[in-house]
Amino acid sequence: MESADEPDYVLLLERLQELSPDIYFEFMTSPEGNEFVITADGEQSLFPLVEEIIAAAPKLDNWSFFALKPQFGFPELSEWEGVRMRIANVRCILLECMDTDELGLRLIVPHIDPATEDSLHNALLRAIDHGLGERRFAESFDFTELVNPAAAGGESFPLARLDAELSRHQSGEAAE
Q: Within 10 Å of residue 43's Cβ, how many Cβ atoms?
A: 15
Radius of gyration over alpha carbons of the chain, in Å?
Answer: 18
pLDDT digits (tens, 9 = 90+) for 119-129: 999 999 999 99
Residues 6+ apart with CB under 8 A from 148: 108, 109, 110, 111, 112
Residues 12-23 pLDDT 10s: 999 999 999 999
Indicate whether 160 pLDDT > 70.
yes
- The pLDDT assigned to 1 comes to 67
- Per DSSP, the chain holds a count of helices (H) and strands (E) of 5, 9
Write down the pTM of the prediction. 0.87
**Residue 69 contacts residue 36 (beta carbons within 8 Å):** no
